[in-house]
Amino acid sequence: MISVGVVGATGYAGGELLRLLLRHPRVEIATITSRGHAGAALTDWFPNLRGETDLRFSEPQVENLADCDLAFFATPNGTAMQMVPQLLAAGTRVIDLGADFRIKDVKVWSQWYGLEHACPELVEEAVYGLPEVNRQAIRAARLVANPGCYPTAVQLGFLPLVEQGLVDLDHLVADAKSGASGAGRQPKQNTMLTEVAESFRAYGASGHRHLPEIQQGLARAAGRPVELTFVPHLIPIIRGIHATLYGRLLDSEVDLQALYEKRFRDEAFVDVMPPGSHPETRTVRGINVCRIAVHRPDPGRVVVLVVEDNLVKGAAGQAVQNMNLMFGLNERVGLADIAVIP
Ligand SMILES: NC(=O)C1=CN([C@@H]2O[C@H](COP(=O)(O)OP(=O)(O)OC[C@H]3O[C@@H](n4cnc5c(N)ncnc54)[C@H](OP(=O)(O)O)[C@@H]3O)[C@@H](O)[C@H]2O)C=CC1
Ligand SMILES: CC(=O)N[C@@H](CCC(=O)OP(=O)(O)O)C(=O)O
């Protein structure tokens, strides 16, 4: 059994992780943490888990996690980096669902996150946890930087085109929409029901912190820098990301459907839909799947539609997928759910 700890277990990503981990046949949950609620029951925060667990929170301290094989951090950016060096030294592997280890250039990370990095020496070692790109490295990693929700959707959607040099890398566009759970459980005025329902707006149009993460991943795939316009939007749904990606094609003959099907043929969690499809967020609600449809409105233009659940393939499900790889399990273990419709 893999003994795991979850830091940030009162939050949305932590709760989703526990929903998945409680049904994982090879996991034993040793520790869950909350700063203000030590001693309280997990089910007080997630009543959906009643009957599944009697876990109670403890304080997020290294000594409460150091006996685990693996610690997940489902915590705000800037949290994991405070404990990771001591945990790795104690032999505990780490998956950070936050952004502390995603950006290789620590200066760039500091500019976007407004923090000084607490352990820059570990950033290079950290493996970016997008299994569809880094599977081999994830297997051996001590420290995995789980990707952001938007970066997962945008990178998976663009990868086949970028890897093959089929699009103009100076004019990529990603128009992405997220449900309100993407903003976390902490009360914030702009994600209140009364502020989100019956409305729709963009945010971060002049710069969002996921831009450098996406550009880093696509540049690695392309072998050269890429220019991307990325605009996120908040939509009045609870879960789900829909990304519409635009590119100028450099090859008007290429069979895009065949390209995408071939690239993701062996990927358990990427579904390339039939030609002409328009994927819906509800088809991935609660499951670790990214669905993609590729369109060519005219010979020089490609439009890619991508959906995922921000809390699953965009966070907790991807973290479980990474854990499976790190511990030599089949990637699909514990991730076999089917989405609920309607
Ligand atoms: N929501 C999403 O769709 C996605 C989230 N992520 C990332 O996952 C992480 C968690 O996000 P989310 O669940 O939405 O956020 P929430 O605000 O819902 O939860 C954050 C959790 O972190 C705990 N926490 C806060 N500060 C600290 C601290 N200093 N030390 C230890 N624990 C702390 C809180 O618990 P308590 O106060 O009880 O200690 C809470 O359980 C973030 O980095 C986020 O960016 C990534 C992809 C998608
Ligand atoms: C709707 C919404 O607010 N979404 C969040 C993204 C959540 C996420 O993936 O955050 P990290 O990169 O910090 O892990 C945002 O745009 O800030």
Q: Is residue 332 part of a domain?
A: no
Rounded CA gap, 60 and 295, in Å? 47
Domain-terminating residue out of 125, 141, 172: 125
Domain-terminating residue out of 90, 125, 160: 125
How many domains does the chain contain in total? 2
79/217 same-domain check: no
Per the prediction, the chain carries an average pLDDT of 97
Position 188 scores a pLDDT of: 86
Q: Is the pLDDT at 235 greater than 90, yes or no?
A: yes
Q: Is residue 169 part of a domain?
A: yes
Give, for ligand 1, the residue of 18, 31, 75 to mutate: max count of ligand atoms closer than 8 Å to Cβ.
Answer: 75
Position 187 scores a pLDDT of: 83
Q: Is 204 left (phi over 0), alpha (psi -120 to 50) or beta?
A: left
Position 190 scores a pLDDT of: 85
Domain that holds residue 75: 2-125
Distances (CA, A) of 83 to 71, 116, 293: 10, 15, 40
218/183 same-domain check: yes
Which atom in ligand 2 lies closest to the alpha carbon of residue 179? 1
Position 170 scores a pLDDT of: 97
Can 119 be counted among the known catalytic residues?
A: no
C-alpha 223 to ligand 1 mean position (Å): 33
Position 191 scores a pLDDT of: 87
More confident residue, 253 or 153: 153
E strand or H helix at 256 = helix 256-263
Determine whether 226 is exposed, middle or buried from the number of CB atoms within 10 Å of its CB (0-12, 13-18, 19+).
buried
Q: How confident is the model at residue 228 (pLDDT cuts 50, 70, 90)?
A: very high
114/180 same-domain check: no
Position 321 scores a pLDDT of: 98
Q: Is residue 229 part of a domain?
A: yes
Contact call for residues 59 and 32 (beta carbons, < 8 A): no
pLDDT tens, position by position, 294-316: 999 999 999 999 999 999 999 99
First to last CA, the chain: 36
Helices (H), 12-95: 12-21, 42-45, 62-65, 80-89
pLDDT tens, position by position, 103-119: 999 999 999 999 999 99
Q: Is residue 336 part of a domain?
A: no
305/227 same-domain check: yes
What would the mean pLDDT of 63-83 be, rounded to a whole number? 97
CB 74 less than 6 A from any atom of ligand 1: yes
CB 248 less than 6 A from any atom of ligand 1: no
Specify the residue with its C-alpha closest to ligand 1, atom 2: 182
C-alpha 184 to ligand 1 mean position (Å): 7
pTM over 0.95? The answer is: yes
pLDDT tens, position by position, 320-336: 999 999 999 999 999 99
Which atom in ligand 1 lies closest to the alpha carbon of residue 98? 43
Q: Is residue 197 part of a domain?
A: yes
119/59 same-domain check: yes
C-alpha 210 to ligand 2 mean position (Å): 8
C-alpha 32 to ligand 1 mean position (Å): 13
Position 146 scores a pLDDT of: 98
pLDDT tens, position by position, 34-60: 999 999 999 999 999 999 999 999 999
Contact call for residues 150 and 241 (beta carbons, < 8 A): yes
52/107 same-domain check: yes
Specify the residue with its C-alpha closest to ligand 2, atom 7: 182
293/163 same-domain check: yes
CATH number at residue 260: 3.30.360.10
193/299 same-domain check: yes
158/232 same-domain check: yes
CATH number at residue 117: 3.40.50.720
Rounded CA gap, 286 and 308, in Å? 9
Q: Is residue 324 part of a domain?
A: no
Specify the residue with its C-alpha closest to ligand 1, atom 43: 98
CB 186 less than 6 A from any atom of ligand 1: yes
Rounded CA gap, 176 and 281, in Å? 12
Q: How much of the chain, in percent, has pLDDT values that exceed 70?
A: 100
Contact call for residues 188 and 180 (beta carbons, < 8 A): no
Position 215 scores a pLDDT of: 98
Contact call for residues 273 and 186 (beta carbons, < 8 A): no
Determine whether 63 is exposed, middle or buried from the number of CB atoms within 10 Å of its CB (0-12, 13-18, 19+).
exposed
CB 8 less than 6 A from any atom of ligand 1: yes
Give, for ligand 2, the residue of 149, 206, 308 to mutate: max count of ligand atoms closer than 8 Å to Cβ.
Answer: 149
